[in-house]
């Protein structure tokens, strides 16, 4: 089976880019009855309350308090989700969401990284379950053995997953273990822009005090794959027969186009896909990394033993795709000497088929100076949603096994790359107000009406009062 064909097994499409020309005039009823529409957030970016009710510091607390964010912000308060989740659940109901995807903070549920469960954390999450972890784990494990750089994390992660399965599995059908393991470690261990902020010259973007950009990303992903497989095997052996759920993983996704029709650019496009998708999906489907990775990375790429290969192969029930935008690539000769992940891939990325800042957010709010009308009237995002949902319907009609579409994200949160400079959400959060009030953007009203009224065409537009007007 070609690896690219596996991308048809979508569970979620939290996408931010220009889509192919979509189906026209579709409605909610055009999708299968079991197709799920939802939206998403992430624990550290949403919850706040970092020092309340027994939560321990995470690696992101340490990272942001060291002043590593561009705007020097932290997630200490974030969107106040820990205190305002009931209000947000009501907003989700008002928006007619059919599902909500979010992550569980390891630091809040099992503060010491292993052992005792925090009852307050357990109470908070009991009705909010979908995803296990998003590159956020207790700082104590980073201090003790280096977090994802140590194979010891496999056992601790599996124990954390066991708590989640045991406590929440009676109400959860779909679990994703790790979000974007194919790019998070690059930010964490190559460029140093994500927690725990490790890198080495000349590859680091930030001033890291420790790390090895040429090796550590590969070690971290290797341990993530083993941890995912261990959690999946645990679920299948101890919980699946009764709970009837499934376990998958979410991968970050660019689609790629060759810059020219030359043979070397076509090969570069495939190589990019092998590095982007095959890095994590190859072992889970075939039991090993793509051959081009083993060739280019060499001894810096960890290897699976025969038993490990058999253990990870097939340890996946579905694949979640977080698709952002598409890029053009062309060949770059593999350079000699010290290399990191990007150099190992040996391609030039020639920009995107769309401007991600415009397509992702509708408006560039990086200065924080946009007017309220600009912030709320995200017409570009409405057009984007229509385009991508229509393209998803086209994929279904062409035989793709797509199970759902989740908008990233439900409301404004702390962003890992930008702090509070940009507004991702369908609901605006006023971060200048301590109460963190929410206000619906145009996209929230459009999405709500699309999900509520099967008779309303997706070609309909929503004006700034929330009414539909046919185009």
Taking only the tens place, the pLDDT of each residue in 364-388 is 334 343 443 347 889 888 988 998 8
Residue 135: pLDDT band (50, 70, 90) is low
Q: Would you call 167 a catalytic residue per the annotation?
A: no
- Beta strand pairing status for 246-258 and 174-179? parallel
**DSSP structure string for 172-232:** -SEEEEEE-TTTHHHHHHTS--STT----TTT-SS--SS--TTTHHHHHHHHHHHHHHHHH
d(CA 460, CA 471): 6
d(CA 134, CA 103): 6
Residue 193, pLDDT > 60, answer: yes
How confident is the model at residue 206, as a pLDDT? 85
How confident is the model at residue 17, as a pLDDT? 39
How confident is the model at residue 458, as a pLDDT? 60
Q: Which residues contact 141 (CB under 8 A, 6 or more apart)?
A: 113, 147, 153, 156
DSSP code, position 138:
B
User: Of 465 and 304, which is predicted with more confidence?
Assistant: 304
DSSP code, position 456:
S
How confident is the model at residue 358, as a pLDDT? 29
Helix crossing, 152-168 with 216-238: angle to 10°?
Answer: 40
d(CA 450, CA 458): 7
Catalytic one of 180, 216, 360, 415: 180
Across the chain, what does the average pLDDT equal? 86
Q: How long is the chain?
A: 471
Residue 424: pLDDT band (50, 70, 90) is confident
- Beta strand pairing status for 438-440 and 427-429? antiparallel
Q: Which domains does the chain have, with CATH numbers?
A: 3-469 (3.20.20.80)
d(CA 186, CA 233): 27
Taking only the tens place, the pLDDT of each residue in 165-182 is 999 999 888 999 999 999
Residue 352, pLDDT > 60, answer: no
pTM: 0.82
């Amino acid at each position: 089976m070609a690896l690219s064909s596996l991308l048809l097994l979508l569970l979620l499409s939290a996408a931010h880019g220009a889509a192919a020309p979509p189906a026209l005039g579709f409605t909610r009823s055009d999708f299968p009855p079991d197709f799920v529409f939802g939206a998403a957030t992430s624990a550290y970016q949403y919850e706040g309350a970092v020092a309340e009710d027994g939560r321990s510091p995470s690696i992101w607390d340490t990272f942001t308090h060291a002043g590593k964010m561009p705007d020097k912000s932290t997630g200490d308060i974030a969107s106040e989700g820990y205190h305002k989740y009931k209000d947000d659940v009501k907003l989700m109901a008002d928006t007619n969401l059919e599902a909500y995807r979010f992550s569980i903070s390891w630091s809040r549920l099992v503060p010491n990284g292993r052992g005792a469960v925090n009852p307050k954390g357990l109470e908070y999450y009991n009705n909010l379950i979908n995803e296990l972890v998003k590159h956020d784990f207790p700082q104590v494990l980073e201090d003790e053995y280096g977090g994802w750089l140590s194979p010891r994390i496999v056992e601790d992660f599996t124990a954390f997953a066991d708590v989640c399965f045991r406590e929440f599995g009676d109400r959860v059908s779909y679990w994703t273990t790790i979000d974007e393991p194919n790019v998070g470690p690059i930010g964490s261990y190559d460029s140093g822009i994500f927690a725990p902020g490790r890198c080495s010259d000349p590859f680091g973007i930030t001033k890291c005090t420790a790390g090895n950009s040429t090796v550590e990303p590969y070690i971290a992903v290797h341990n993530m794959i083993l941890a995912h497989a261990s959690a999946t095997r645990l679920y299948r052996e101890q919980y699946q027969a009764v709970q009837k759920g499934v376990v998958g993983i979410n991968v970050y996704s660019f689609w790629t186009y060759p810059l020219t029709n030359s043979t070397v650019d076509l090969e570069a496009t495939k190589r990019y896909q092998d590095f982007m998708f095959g890095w994590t999906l190859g072992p889970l489907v075939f039991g090993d990394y793509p051959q081009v990775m083993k060739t280019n990375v060499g001894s810096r790429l960890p290897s699976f033993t025969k038993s490990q290969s058999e253990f990870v192969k097939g340890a996946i029930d579905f694949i979640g795709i977080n698709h952002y935008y598409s890029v053009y690539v062309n060949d770059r000769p593999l350079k000699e000497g010290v290399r990191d992940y990007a150099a190992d891939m040996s391609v030039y990325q020639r920009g995107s088929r769309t401007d991600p800042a415009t397509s992702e957010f509708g408006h560039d709010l990086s200065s924080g100076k946009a007017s309220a009308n600009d912030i709320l009237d995200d017409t570009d995002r409405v057009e984007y949603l229509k385009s991508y949902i229509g393209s998803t319907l086209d994929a279904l009609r062409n035989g793709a096994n797509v199970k759902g579409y989740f908008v990233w994200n439900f409301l404004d949160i702390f962003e890992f790359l930008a702090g509070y400079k940009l507004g991702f959400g369908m609901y605006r959060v006023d971060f200048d107000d301590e109460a963190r009030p929410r206000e619906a953007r145009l996209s929230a009203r459009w999405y709500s009406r699309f999900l509520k009224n099967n008779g309303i065409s997706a070609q309909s537009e929503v004006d700034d009062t929330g009414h539909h007007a046919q185009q």
